[in-house]
Amino acid sequence: MLDGRRGAHTSTIVAGAPEGKPASCATDTAVPSFLMMTEKATFGAGCFWGVEETFRKLEGVSSTAVGYAGGNKENPSYEDVCSDETGHAEVVQVEFDPSQITYDQILDVFWSNHNPTTLNRQGPDVGTQYRSVIFYHSPEQKAAAEKSKQEISESGRFNRPVVTQIEPAPKFWRAEEYHQRYLEKRGQSHCAI
């Protein structure tokens, strides 16, 4: 507390505090945690700009980030990945609250927003960086991804085989900042094809 003199501080003594000791903001009272428990999901489904925009808008998704995963180069740049020589896929990492949206619901959005039957290609974008891939973060995600792939393959929705890869989540390399929320920054809702 200021005591009226420029920059001079005084202490307030509070009942129950040790004699001569100032009161502290910290207490021994337990404070319940209101942190939400989140999970991560990582998907490659073509150019990451539109994929990120789709997932970002889902209720229950707390954050999204675009980046690179599944390749053989440490800390790749966009140019490295576009060379189609590093083995990375353009991916979106989704953080979500499973009490608001389930992993199965997120998988449904994944299958609905790209063509999982084109190998290393989405629309005009060609190369391994555009492959369809689910990077799972737990045994439960792996089982759910495999089940959903089988269901979509047997549904008759596609007239060609589903080529989506299902792999353990490798290191995620966050893409350059100008790629984050790329479409939102430009006032677009989807990539022009």
Tokens 């576009």: give the residue. 82
Full DSSP string of 13-29:
--TTSPTTPPP-S--SS
Could you confirm whether 47 is annotated as catalytic?
A: yes
Q: How far apart are CA 1 and CA 7, in angstroms?
A: 10
Spell out where 31-177 has E strands: 39-45, 61-69, 89-96, 121-122, 125-126, 132-136, 165-168, 173-174
Q: How far apart are CA 66 and CA 43, in angstroms?
A: 10
Please, which residues have CB within 8 angstroms of residue 95's CB and are 6 or more apart in sequence? 38, 39, 40, 61, 62, 63, 64
Classify 192 as helix, strand or coil: coil
Work out the end-to-end distance of the chain between its first and last CA atoms, rounded to an integer number of angstroms. 62
Among 25, 47, 82, 191, the one annotated catalytic: 47
Which amino acids are annotated catalytic? 47
